[in-house]
Amino acid sequence: MFSGCGGMDLGFRGGFTVFGRHYPRLPFEVIWANDLNAAACRTYRHNLDAGIRQGDVWALLGTLPEQCDVLIGGFPCQDISVNGKGTGVNGARSGLYRAMVEAASRLQPRVFVAENVKGLLMRHNAESLRKVVTDFSSLGYDVSFHLHQASDYGVPQSRERVFIVGTRPGSASFKPPPHPQPYATTPMTAGEALDDLKSLAENPGTNHIWSRANKSPDQGSRRLQPDRPAHTIRAECHGNIQFHYELDRRISMREAARLQSFPDSFIFKSKLRETERQVGNAVPPILAWHVAVAVRGCLRND
């Protein structure tokens, strides 16, 4: 649910290589997916070769399969984010988590995974977090939530995200994935991730295109540091994505996708602004892969 371009789904499926490291195929198959954004659905279809239904999630709940083992989704964060309106899960966008609760109620998956921004753990969102946990718990799930820093798992970006995980009786308890070496102590830097791209000319076919937006306050003036992970890639950057650490330009969409840990073979089927939105909204595939391995552990008790 709320699949976007498919970063979380790619991670759960596995079978991809990025930064010279292979993330093996996992035993998950996507049997139903949905997103409202038409451009994101085009990208999803091109890269994941799986059926995805484009449209309003409430209107499409009737097309859900009869059952599934695992339900995953990153419900919209705009009302929870520190850059949002602060209405929490009462907002029109973040309130869509209720569609995920309804899907869990109908499908009764053994495990569900709901992803959102770190802001959900902030004091002013305490009631929103309590509401989300209570609504899922009322379905009979043992619910826990965990904050993960993507750079701890090999993503060259400082990106903190909350994963709310629920397991049904009969499934093993969820254990958060351990931080793999060397990333637990030495995160991958922006320079390591991007240096081989800096001499390449623009190429729309590989999404190596960049915004010409003028320097602007806050995010619009940030520059990558080559010896540390990138700043968080945001979806609504309006062209004001961070500048390259060495070149006199903003980073390209291919570079932003690298910083999110998408393999170079993953092509975004959209122009600049829509690609910015898709890349910024995505769950880093590497992080999703590690979460998926932990979820697999919940199912190994038969």
pLDDT above 90 covers a percentage of the chain that reads 78
Q: How many CB atoms lie within 10 A of CB 202?
A: 11
Q: How many CB atoms lie within 10 A of CB 241?
A: 25
Q: Is 111 helix (H, G, I), strand (E, B) or coil?
A: strand
Catalytic entry in 5, 41, 68, 77: 77
Residue among 265, 263, 259 at smallest CA distance from 244: 259
Average pLDDT over residues 192-203: 97
Backbone angles phi and psi of 111, in degrees to 5: -140, 145
Q: How many CB atoms lie within 10 A of CB 247?
A: 16
pLDDT at 96: 84
pLDDT classification of 128: cutoffs 50, 70, 90: confident
pLDDT at 78: 53
| Cβ burial 31-40 (10 Å sphere, 16+ → b, else e) | ebbbbebebb
pLDDT classification of 85: cutoffs 50, 70, 90: low
Q: Catalogue all structural domains in the chain, each as residue range(s) with its CATH number.
A: 7-184+283-298 (3.40.50.150)
Decide if pLDDT at 126 tops 80: yes
Quote the CA–CA distance of 52 and 63 in Å, as a whole number: 11
Sign of CA dihedral 114, 115, 119, 123: positive
DSSP state for residue 230 in the 8-state scheme: B
208-228 tens-digit pLDDT? 999 999 988 877 899 999 999
pLDDT at 15: 98
pLDDT at 301: 60
8 membership: H or E segment, kind and range: helix 7-13
pLDDT at 76: 77
C-alpha angle 64-56-34 in degrees, rounded to nearest 5: 50
Decide if pLDDT at 182 tops 80: yes
Decide if pLDDT at 293 tops 70: yes
Angle, to 10 degrees, between the axis of helix 272-281 and the axis of helix 38-48? 70
End-to-end CA distance of the chain: 27
Cβ burial of 21 (10 Å; 0-12, 13-18, 19+) is: exposed
Give the distance between the most distant pair of CA atoms in the chain. 58
Decide if pLDDT at 84 tops 60: no
16-61 tens-digit pLDDT? 999 999 999 999 999 999 999 999 999 999 999 878 999 999 999 9
Residue with tokens 């499934």: 171
77 is catalytic: yes
90-110 tens-digit pLDDT? 544 447 889 999 999 999 999
pLDDT at 220: 84
- Mean pLDDT is lowest, of 112-126, 175-189, 194-208, for 112-126
pLDDT above 70 covers a percentage of the chain that reads 93
Quote the CA–CA distance of 20 and 11 in Å, as a whole number: 16
Residues 54/4, Cβ–Cβ less than 8 Å:
no
Q: How many CB atoms lie within 10 A of CB 160?
A: 15
Quote the CA–CA distance of 39 and 11 in Å, as a whole number: 20
Sign of CA dihedral 103, 109, 115, 121: positive
Which amino acid, one-letter code, is at 188?
M
Average pLDDT over residues 262-274: 97
Residues 93/130, Cβ–Cβ less than 8 Å:
no
pLDDT at 92: 46
Q: How many CB atoms lie within 10 A of CB 248?
A: 6
Quote the CA–CA distance of 216 and 241 in Å, as a whole number: 10
Quote the CA–CA distance of 22 and 10 in Å, as a whole number: 13
